Structure 1
Amino acid sequence: MRDYKKLDVWKKSHEMYIYIKKNIATKFPKEERYELTSQLLRAALSVPLNIVEGCGRFTNKDFAHFLDNSLGSANEADYCCFAAFECNYITIEEYNTANKLINEVRAMLLSFLKFLRNSNSANPPKP
């Protein structure tokens, strides 16, 4: 079992979630509460939550599955932020900051996934 609080990718995804929650979602109009706001917050929160859940798994393959889910949620959050910008709910600066954080998380997730998958193929199970 891994300690998620020691993982840089979790720290960055937590930072991303907090930024989105405090600085992006709060700018949306009330009529978006049950649509875009809800979807964005669920997607952004899903990124660190999937990392946490994956840390509780015992194999790299299982952990990688949850990191894949985190990656999908990061993509979803990215689109929600883009849609918010296109709807003029947030400024270009706010979008760029969110997008930068999301891209950093995605890059870290991809790197970690590559590491986990290579460590599995480098050490195949013994018969």
Structure 2
Amino acid sequence: MERIRSHRELKVYQLSFEAGMEIFRLTKQFPKEERYSLTDQIRRSSRSVSANLAEAFRKRRYPRSFVSKLSDSEGEAAETQNWPDYSLACEYVSKKEHSSLNTKYDYILGMIVNMINNPEKWSI
């Protein structure tokens, strides 16, 4: 197996980036009155998942810093998973869109937790 040289090569980064872009596309349809509340919150938290993964990757030589940034990413992913619940309740997204996002973030969270539980696999 070839060594991963960039955070962009991490499957979890790719998935979180794709999910963040999906959220961006979905939230473009949200009402204007949500611009500075729900839309802003879900976009910021979704983007923070991949941003924290990128930072964690660069800190992997320091196991505690690596796990700390992964923990931040996990928290942002959990927050992001919360906002579609509100979006569904407000009828801004369909049940299918909500379910799809929830499944993606469950998978992303699982991958992040696996990295947290096995930091030695990522150290340099």
Per the normalisation by structure 1, the TM-score is 0.86
Equivalent pair of 1:50/1:70 in contact (CA under 8 Å): yes
Does residue 16 of the first structure (1) align with residue 54 of the second (2)? Answer: no
**1:33 counterpart residue number:** 35
Tell me if 1:49 matches 2:59. Answer: no
| Alignment-mate amino acid for residue 93 of structure 1 | K
Would you say 1:79 and 2:82 are equivalent positions?
A: yes
Asked whether the equivalents of residues 2 and 55 of structure 1 are also in contact (C-alpha less than 8 Å), the reply is no
Unaligned runs of 5+ in 2: none
Query: 1:81·1:95 contact (CA, 8 Å) conserved in 2?
Result: yes
5+ long unaligned stretches in structure 1: 121-127
Dislocated runs of 4+, deviation >3 Å = none
Please give the secondary structure, in 1, of the residue aligned with 2:19.
helix
Q: How many positions carry a matched residue from both structures? A: 117
Q: 1:109 aligns with which of 98, 108, 112?
A: 112
Give the aligned residue type for 2:39. T
Which of 72, 75, 91 matches 1:88? 91
Which protein is bigger by CA-based radius of gyration? Answer: 1
For 1:6 and 1:79, the matched residues in 2 are separated by: 27
Structure 2 counterpart of 1:70, from 73, 89, 108: 73
CA distance in 2, matches of 1:101, 1:27: 20
TM-score (norm 2): 0.88
> Percent same amino acid at aligned positions?
27
Match of 1:4 in 2: 7
Deviation of residue 27 (structure 1)?
2.5
Q: 3-state SS of the aligned residue for 2:118?
A: helix
